[in-house]
Chain A
């Protein structure tokens, strides 16, 4: 549609008619041939819609230059200045732009859009990207690509992390700029990142409590929720989300107790965790724009730490003397004591024999070495000194409590006593003088034994 203004000066005589001239224009709008009157124009209206079904010489998508003249009774005046118009719709409105999160940063958003179809065959010259700061309402064009129709993206920088922005894109052709697309409203942030793997806190034979630290990189906006995923406990590599009700919308959580395993259907709670089963657990942290997985999964065994041993360490006197103590302790491998998982090692503690604090005889290595022996020969002892010993066991989930304290000592058997001597004897009674061992071996004597034969040569003692 063309609109005209009436001639500003009719020359003193009323305007009798107008003539509309048109000529094909080159790409730069310059005419290549003489103007011709557009015959379908009624010579009087101040508006005219050119219809190329009437003016069949006009081709859709081509550009034309129009000029107007006015005629009064004296004659036809000069032609107006020209206007070049493409015979086509205005540029079409693009679809709403999108954000490429993989290329976005907390202070920069990589906005892409889709090319529009040329209107009536008129080439699209380019696009403009407008941005509105939702916090302030400030709106402006951040990218004017009206002469570059090949570029369908723009990296908007200088944004404030966590702020919300609205983006729209418009296309431009020769006739002008389309209306803005629907808005893309986004917050300037990226998915969380640097999310350490969860860690073990505790477990029982039917539950596991894991903990985690929030991602060290929140992406610039707040966390929305965590998702806990677990495998089947049988070595499977597929993870399924569980306990979403407990976790959803609670970004402040830092630990969770799992009692049910995953099933094939994430929406269905699984059965109870299998005691002794090894599960892989990982977490996903979500913010508004995406999520990240923990850097690795945590292997957890559904087991408690071992039970405290039912008895204190004891000593094997057959291998104990004044210079060493053979310490023995009971196994905790049975299901009653192992907490539901294999015992990985024992740790034996002892004091200094003077009532001091107890310390590990295995040292820090006990935490990673498989000390499964149930005996320990302690050579760092002094004859006659009583030491306090206790022990504990660990399984995959850590150390159990200590046993009761056992009081063990370095001692040997008593020294050989002096032979009995006769005090008196008569026909029916013998009185003997007995002598205790001069060296008790480092331990109090508990008993004596007197042996006597049957009174004949080579008879047995009793």
Chain B
């Protein structure tokens, strides 16, 4: 049902209880449901991979805080990932009580495999239903330990150098 009582004030937190009645009388009141009156947070479309923070067994991502004015503040975020086994979205980060968390590193990834993520904002009423962008991130870090090239020959018009591959190819 939809409650559209007069005098509701955005930003306030309302408590609701419910009960049934038959000819004998009323049931006990239900447990309380508290709901803040305010629109849910918008979808987060700023999720991006943080490639510099990725590695051969982990992927990293960041997103931007919601800047639009809201009657109910954002209390945190949930990060979801498609489980490669079940192919279903599953929560991989519950940061619903810390709005300052704007990044996440997912460990345990398999090198070379890609993983898909999305982020939801959470306010008093729970996570937003608005779905933002998905980001697919390959599990692979930057090449590391790349030795300096060395001189081989040169002429008036050419220089030959040689190098060894990076000691750490980052996993891909």
Contact = CB atoms under 8 A, between A and B. Distances in A.
Interface of A: 317-318, 320-321, 409, 411-437, 440-441, 443-456, 461
A81 to B, nearest CB: 125
A455 B24 contact: no
Contact of B19 (A412, A423, A425, A448): A448
B39 interface: yes
Contacts, number: 160
A416 B27 contact: yes
B21 A427 contact: no
B40 A449 contact: no
The 6 closest A-B pairs by CB, nearest first: A455-B12, A414-B27, A419-B31, A414-B20, A416-B28, A443-B22
B21 A450 contact: no
Contacts of A418: 30-31
Given A421-B33, A453-B15, A446 B27 contact: no
B5 A428 contact: no
Contacts of A449: 18-19, 21, 26
Given A317-B25, A440-B22, A453-B14, A417 B30 contact: yes
Contacts of A448: 18-21
A461 B15 contact: yes
Given A419-B33, A431-B3, A446 B18 contact: no
Contacts of B131: none
A456 B33 CA distance: 14
Interface of B (DSSP majority class): loop
Contacts of A452: 3, 5, 14-17
Contacts of B17: 419-420, 450-452, 461
Nearest to B17: A451
Contacts of B13: 455-456
Contact of B27 (A415, A427, A432): A415
Interface residues of B, number: 40
B170 interface: no
A120 B14 CA distance: 137
B38 A425 contact: yes
Nearest to B129: A424
B35 interface: yes
A440 B24 CA distance: 10
B37 A428 contact: yes
B164 interface: no
A15 to B, nearest CB: 137
B52 interface: no
A437 B20 contact: yes
Contacts of B19: 414, 416-417, 448-449, 451
A278 B16 CA distance: 67
Nearest to B123: A425
A455 B14 contact: yes
A327 to B, nearest CB: 14
Interface in B84-143: 125-126, 129
Contact of A432 (B12, B21, B33): B33
20 contacts: A317-B25, A416-B28, A425-B36, A426-B38, A430-B14, A432-B2, A447-B21, A448-B19, A448-B20, A449-B19, A449-B21, A449-B26, A450-B3, A451-B17, A452-B14, A453-B14, A453-B15, A455-B8, A455-B14, A456-B12
A435 B17 CA distance: 11
Contact of A430 (B2, B26, B71): B2
B11 to A, nearest CB: 8
A429 B4 contact: yes
Interface in B21-77: 21-33, 35-40, 71
A150 to B, nearest CB: 96
B126 to A, nearest CB: 7
Contacts of A430: 2-4, 8, 14, 35, 37
Contacts of A432: 1-3, 16, 33, 35
A425 B24 contact: no
Q: In this complex, which of A420, A454, A455 has the most chain B Cβ atoms within 10 angstroms of its Cβ?
A: A455
A13 B172 CA distance: 211
A456 B11 CA distance: 10
A398 B3 CA distance: 61
Contacts of B8: 428-430, 455
Contacts of B31: 418-419
B10 interface: yes
Nearest to A457: B13
A423 B2 CA distance: 9
A441 B27 CA distance: 9
A413 B22 contact: yes
A446 B14 CA distance: 26
